[in-house]
Structure 1
Amino acid sequence: MKYTVEIEIDKPIDRVIELFDNTDTMKQWMEGLQSVEHLSGTPGQPGAKLKLKFKMGSREFEMIETVTVRNLPDEFTGTYEANGVLNTVKNSFIKLSDTKTKYVTENEFQLKGFMKVMAFLMPGAFKKQSLKFMSAFKKFVESQN
């Protein structure tokens, strides 16, 4: 399953990148994120791995992020692995003006087992969740000086 989501952020591209590139602020905008643990590699660079722990309702799960491409603002790509899910996300940032930035994500999911059934029954849920995270990031960035 593949899809693209984009949103415009009312902040300069340099500020958007600065906040996107800061794992210390992820909990402030990523709903359900409980902790971020650096596992290996140079943080933010290709090959680096993070463990992300989430709690959504009564459900807890972990995800491993592996950075595969870092060429900001044009591309920051990573893989996100959890039970039955491999998600590759390409993030791109485009300067629209001195005060406005377009944030684009290209998502590709490879699913197994129950998650494959969920994607078949509710394909819009994945895109909706991506847009929810992007909207929360936009709100967070726009609230910062």
Structure 2
Amino acid sequence: MKFKGLIDIDQPREKVVALFKDPKYLGEYQEGFIRKEYINGLKGENGAVSKVFYKHGKGEMELTETIISNNLPESFYASYQHKHMDNTLKSTFTSLSPTKTRYETQGEYTAFRGFIPKMLGLFFPKMFEKQAQKWLNNFKVFAEKQ
């Protein structure tokens, strides 16, 4: 299942990318973000592996992020594994003017495990796209305040 999102941000690309690549800002636009822990490889480099933790109900949800291709400031491509689903996400940053940047995402869920995740993917695919767009919108608000 594939999804896309995009948003134009009133900031130069260099600033947008600097905010995007610094994990200390994830909580500013991703609700429930707790922390990111580097596990293996060089931070930010191709092949680097991290654990990313989010609040989920009364507990935590853990994702494993593996960087597939870091070509920032142009693009960042990573895979994310969770016990219930796997997905990839490519983020691209295009300078529209010296003070405006287009931030686009292209994602694909490649595996759903368990009855409920499979049903969500089958019957509510727009739910995943809406969540990605929500984080893009949140990022725009955050970035434009910087």
TM-score (norm 2): 0.93
TM-score (norm 1): 0.94
- Specify the alignment match of 1:46 in structure 2: 46
- Specify the alignment match of 2:95 in structure 1: 95
Residue of structure 2 aligned with 1:137, choices 114, 119, 139: 139
What per-residue deviation string (whole Å, max 9, x for no partner) do you get for residues 94-120 of structure 1?
Answer: 000111000000000022223121111
Residue of structure 1 aligned with 2:117, choices 97, 115, 118: 115
Give the distance between the partners of 2:29 and 2:20, measured in 1 at CA. 10
Summarize the alignment of residues 20-39 of structure 1 with structure 2, pairs less than 5 Å apart.
20-39=20-39
- Give 1:130's aligned amino acid: A
Give the distance between the partners of 2:18 and 2:72, measured in 1 at CA. 10
Q: Are 1:9 and 2:4 counterparts?
A: no
- Specify the alignment match of 1:125 in structure 2: 127
- Specify the alignment match of 1:74 in structure 2: 74
Residue identity over aligned pairs, in percent, reads: 36
Give the distance between the partners of 1:122 and 1:59, measured in 2 at CA. 24
- Give 1:69's aligned amino acid: S
Equivalenced residue count is 144
Structure 1 unmatched ranges of 5 or more: none
- Give 2:127's aligned amino acid: A
Structure 1 position 121, deviation (Å): 1.8
- Give 1:112's aligned amino acid: R
The range that moved more, 96-105 or 22-31, is: 22-31
